[in-house]
Structure formats: structure tokens, C-alpha cells
Amino acid sequence: MKVWNEELDKKLSDLVNDGKSYKEIASLMNMSYKSVSVRGNRLGLKSKYKEVLKEISNEECICKNCETKFIALKKQNQLFCSQQCSGSYNTKGRKHSEETKEKIKQSNSGKKQKEESINKRVEKFNKTIENRKFIYKRKIKRNKEIKKRVCKNCNNDVLYKKVICEECRINYYKYYRPSCEFDFNIFKYKKDFDFLLVEKYGWYSPINKKDNPTGVSRDHLYSVKDGFINKVDPSIIKHPANCRLISQKDNNIKNSKSSITFEELLKRIEEWDKRENINMVVCPSD
């Protein structure tokens, strides 16, 4: 195996400059093609073989149709500079029969019909989008406008979507109790609740529904009744931190007693919100 030196490098560069390919140089120098090509790349030598081959294989031609000069491969025997020139040259003086003319008309009319149908679809689609945008904007406007209703209990004005005013909700238990019901998704907090009870007894359901009176239900640690007496905001009473899972039997025995104090509930809520990254100030309503 030959070791590369200055003399061999000079010989290689001279052969490359002469337009020899690496294959030819390898046979002349009695070396492998890989060794020659790798050494040539390392020395930064660019083989001129391809350029020489192009010069040999390419020739200058004149287009038969437009008589412009262009370069093409000798093997191809190219007569035209483009497809348009080829088409126009080959169709010169050609006369179409009536049948062929009719076919051309039909194909052109078919294309036009397709274009028209596509344009109609696009217009229809754009109109539907505009209509949707208009409806959406109108809905936003409606929601932004403050619509007031009358409180069912005291006949005072209440805000949009509400039926009972805040004052009546705090002062009357029949309105306060429903607004304290838990409305969070308990399955999001599986680590915080004892679901083994649910697996064992199932969820509580009255006899007139699924008939499971011994099942598990959600219980308020700080009771709704105490919340009503102390005029605590329902959002505090229905907070997930005030919830636990117990059997309906134990819930009935407990009745309306609180398992924790209000101060303990506030502490639990503060820890819960801190853990869940909820910026919420919890305080009882006046």
C-alpha cells in the first residue's frame, strides 16, 4: 500500500487539472479509487471531469420554430427549445375535422363548467364563513350587554343568567342550599379522596333511581346549615377542600353538624389553592 507524500500529491493535482476522473487516476497511479477520491477531497481538489464531459456531450442547437439558439445533449437530437415551440411547429397547417372541433369545444366547455362550479363553491364557502363570523360577533355583543332579570323572591333586579339575587340567596335557606352543592369534577382529585369506599359500596342513589341507599356520597365538612347561619359565601362551602367521601348512612347520622371549624376550613382552602396554584382570596360574606 502506497503512502501519500508530496510527490504523489503533486501528481494527483496535475492529473485532476488535466480533467482526468478519479477512476482514471486510480488506474494510472495503481491505487484504489477510494484512496484517490478521499485524498483528493482532503486536498480540496475538484475534478474537472464532469465539466469536460459536459463540454464534450453538449452542443449548440437552433430551434426549428423560433430559430433561437440553445444548448442540448448530442444524444438527444433536440430540435426545439421548448414544448410550446414543438407544439406550434407540428400543428402548422393542420386542419381539424368537424368531429375533432366538436370534441375540443366540449372539452373546453367542460373545463369552463368545472371552473364555474369551483368558483360557486368558493363563493358559497366564503359566505358561510362571513355569516358565522357575523353570528359569533352578534352573540358576543349580546353576552356583553348586561341583561337584568327580576329576583323570584324579592322582585329586585338581578344580573343576566341569575334567578335569585345575592341577598336572598344568603338570607333564605331554600335558595342558599342549592348554591352550596359541589359542582367540581371529583375524578380530577383522586389522590385527595377515598375512592376505595366507592369501589366497595358504589355511589349513593335513592330507591326511585338506581336504588343504592347504602352507597357513598359527598359530604360537607363544614355544614351548609352552619354556613347559612354565619352567612358564609356559597363558593366557600362548595370548595373541594370542604368535601369528603362517606357512606350515606354515616352522612345521615352526622346530619347538619360540622366536622371542622370555619377557621380550619379557611386554612384547608388556602393550602388547597396554594397546591393547585389558584390565586383566590377566601373570605366570608357580610
* pLDDT score of 243: 92
* pLDDT score of 210: 78
Euclidean distance between CA atoms 201 and 187, whole angstroms: 17
Is the pLDDT reported for residue 267 higher than 80?
A: yes
pTM above 0.75, yes or no: no
* pLDDT score of 13: 84
Read off the amino acid at residue 248: Q
| Better pLDDT: 181 or 138 | 181
Mean pLDDT within 98-122: 76
* Stretch among 66-80, 165-179, 232-246 having the lowest mean pLDDT: 66-80
Band the pLDDT of 1: cuts 50, 70, 90: low
Euclidean distance between CA atoms 9 and 71, whole angstroms: 36
**Helices 6-17 & 33-42 angle (0-180, nearest 10):** 90
Euclidean distance between CA atoms 282 and 269, whole angstroms: 8
* pLDDT score of 160: 57
Report CA torsion sign: 77, 83, 89, 94.
positive
Euclidean distance between CA atoms 128 and 172, whole angstroms: 49
Digit-coded pLDDT (tens) for 60-88:
788 888 888 877 766 567 788 888 888 77
Cα–Cα distances (Å) from 228 to 154, 192, 219, in that order, read 18, 26, 16
* pLDDT score of 283: 43
Mean pLDDT of the chain: 78
Domain ranges of the chain: 1-47, 60-91, 103-134, 180-275
Is the pLDDT reported for residue 281 higher than 50?
A: no
* pLDDT score of 145: 54
Distance between first and last Cα of the chain: 99
Q: 154 CB contacts (<8 Å, ≥6 apart)?
A: 165, 167, 168
| Better pLDDT: 235 or 170 | 235
* Stretch among 6-10, 137-141, 204-208, 215-219 having the lowest mean pLDDT: 137-141
Could you give the angle at the alpha carbon of 13 between the alpha carbons of 11 and 15, nearest 5°? Answer: 70
Highest mean predicted confidence (pLDDT) among 44-58, 140-154, 199-213 = 199-213
Report CA dihedral (133, 137, 140, 146) to the nearest 10 degrees: -160
Query: If residue 42 lies in a helix (H) or strand (E), which one and from where to where?
Result: helix 33-42
* pLDDT score of 186: 87
Say what percent of the chain tops pLDDT 70: 81
Band the pLDDT of 284: cuts 50, 70, 90: very low
User: Comparing C-alpha atoms, which of 225, 226, 201 is closest to residue 214?
Assistant: 201
Read off the amino acid at residue 272: W
